[in-house]
């Protein structure tokens, strides 16, 4: 009676574990059937990342500095101008004798003054170095452009490496799923024999151990594939798993 109880308990636990393994196998098959984007799509996605945007902003700033440098000659010229406007009033009176009243007079007039001039102060060192300063600014723009392209080429190499690893892991996962399915089929066969009394608990334990090892290998390969896919998403700025 005790042996039968232990046999039922052992089989029940193994069935529960088998259900968990079955769900894990279904998730693994979803990863195997996942269609990877093309390399060109991943390359184009990398161009939309924040690093490229950073280089574009920096290049835009350098281009604005170039425009400023080309207009710097305006510093050598000064425009001068003054403007004044006013009304001048004069009060006066005339005394022609004690027998006559004082005669008061008031006169006013508008006056306008303005002055316009131009002065030039040309520092010869800056004047003769102007071409070099403009050229240096142009080189900064080209340097930023080259740096952006170098980063993108380096990113392409990383994407290719990650893409290759992902394909390799997908193939390995497919083989591992087959190995796990075979180990599970063997375990189910031994389990049936154990129920019928044709197999011992030791034989059942060995079959279960083989199934567990195959499951652990399956999970390891799946984790590596998942990690490589996430890395590809970050490198290419493209949704792969959750698209």
Mean pLDDT for each 10-residue chunk of the chain (243 residues)?
48 50 60 87 91 92 91 80 64 59 59 72 80 91 93 95 92 90 88 82 87 90 91 91 66
- So what's the pLDDT on residue 35? 87
Cα 8 from chain centroid (whole Å): 56
* Cα gap 161→56, rounded to integer Å: 26
Residue 77: burial class (beta carbons within 10 Å; 0-12, 13-18, 19+)? exposed
Ranges of each domain in the chain: 2-74+125-236, 75-120
* Cα gap 92→103, rounded to integer Å: 8
* Cα gap 233→230, rounded to integer Å: 5
Q: How many CA atoms lie within 13 A of 27 on its CB side?
A: 15
Length of the chain: 243
* Cα gap 71→69, rounded to integer Å: 5
- So what's the pLDDT on residue 196? 81
* Cα gap 178→174, rounded to integer Å: 6
- So what's the pLDDT on residue 95? 57
Question: Is 154:235 a contact under the CB 8 Å cutoff?
Answer: no
* Cα gap 89→79, rounded to integer Å: 33
- So what's the pLDDT on residue 5? 46
- So what's the pLDDT on residue 57? 92
- So what's the pLDDT on residue 19? 47
Q: pTM value?
A: 0.68
Nearest CA among 70, 67, 62, 69 for reference residue 140: 62
Cα 216 from chain centroid (whole Å): 35
Question: Is 49:56 a contact under the CB 8 Å cutoff?
Answer: no
């Amino acid at each position: 009676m005790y042996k039968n109880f232990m046999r039922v308990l052992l089989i029940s636990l193994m069935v529960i574990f088998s259900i968990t393994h079955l769900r894990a196998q279904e998730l693994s098959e979803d990863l195997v059937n996942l269609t990877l984007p093309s390399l060109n799509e991943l390359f184009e996605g990398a161009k939309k990342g924040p690093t490229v945007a950073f280089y574009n902003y920096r290049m835009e700033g350098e281009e604005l500095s170039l425009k400023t440098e080309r207009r710097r000659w305006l510093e050598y010229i000064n425009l001068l101008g003054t403007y004044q406007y006013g009304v001048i009033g004069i009060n006066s009176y005339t005394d022609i004798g004690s027998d006559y009243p004082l005669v008061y007079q008031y006169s006013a007039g508008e006056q306008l003054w303005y002055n316009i001039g131009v002065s030039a102060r040309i520092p010869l060192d800056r004047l003769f170095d102007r071409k070099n300063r403009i050229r240096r600014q142009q080189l900064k723009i080209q340097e930023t452009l080259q740096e952006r392209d170098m980063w993108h080429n380096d990113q392409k190499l990383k994407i290719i490496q990650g893409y290759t690893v992902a394909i390799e892991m997908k193939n390995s996962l497919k083989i591992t799923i087959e190995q796990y399915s075979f180990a599970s089929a063997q375990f189910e066969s031994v389990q049936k024999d154990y129920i019928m009394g044709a197999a011992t608990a030791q034989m059942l334990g060995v079959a279960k151990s083989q199934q567990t090892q195959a499951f652990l290998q399956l999970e390891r390969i799946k984790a590596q594939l998942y990690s490589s896919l996430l890395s590809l998403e970050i490198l290419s700025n493209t949704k792969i798993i959750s698209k």
